[in-house]
Amino acid sequence: MSRFRSLLQASVNATKKAFTWNTEEWLPPAEKHIFKFSSKEDLRKWHLYSDSEYGGLSSASLEIADGRNGSNCPGIFSGNLSLDVSEGSKWKITRSGFCGMRSKQFDGFIDLDGYDAVALRLKGDGRCYISTIYTENWVNSPGQPEDNSWQAFVITPKDDWYTAKIPFARYLPTWRGNVIDAQMEMNLGRVLGMSISVNAEAGVDGSKSGAGDFRVEIDWIKALRTD
């Protein structure tokens, strides 16, 4: 009888262990590197865009900083924002003065399920930049072929390194740069890309705005699990 009880208890213990949910085993790491900007190879994962594609006169570049004394060499996104439009342009744009850098298409997608924020380590110029996350459309039907885009402002203190931590809940759904009034959920399991942009006439109170030069150094972009 004692042997039977021992076998029964061993079976019960094994069953309990099999069905016990150890949350630490299911959670992702506390942070996940998405992009770094320490080499020219890293920068080749991005492409630039600006209003110059539509008749504007803004310009942008992306390059590696000149490392000195063995220090890290971050990427530098810089250029000039112009509100002017070239004469005789065939494009009838209603606004100019914007530049951006967008990641090139992934071989698949990035899975950020389990994370609740994104972090960007930056050293800026006092301007307000825009962080955009592109996700696969939940519906993904012929009637809605485009990816979803989500945007949040990032203020960059002038001349100081700063880690901006933005909860995914702060990203708003947008359409061609305009916030849309819709109840939507970000598809974090299928992130297709990211971008960082700057607009001469957009931002928040207290940030630098207007036409002129811009410059932001970027060290890395990560996903965070803060809970």
Q: Residue 207 has what pLDDT? A: 83
Q: Residue 23 has what pLDDT? A: 46
Q: Residue 3 has what pLDDT? A: 47
Q: Yes or no: say if 30 and 227 are a contact pair by the CB < 8 Å rule.
A: no
Question: Domains of the chain, with CATH numbers?
Answer: 29-224 (2.60.120.430)
pTM: 0.81
Q: Residue 80 has what pLDDT? A: 97
Q: Residue 67 has what pLDDT? A: 61
Q: Residue 10 has what pLDDT? A: 46
pLDDT tens-digit profile, the chain (227 residues): 444 444 444 444 444 444 444 545 578 889 999 999 999 999 999 999 999 988 899 999 999 987 644 456 799 999 999 998 887 666 666 678 999 999 998 878 999 999 999 999 999 999 999 999 999 886 554 455 567 899 999 988 898 999 999 999 999 998 877 788 877 889 999 999 999 999 998 777 778 889 999 999 999 999 999 87
Q: Residue 202 has what pLDDT? A: 75
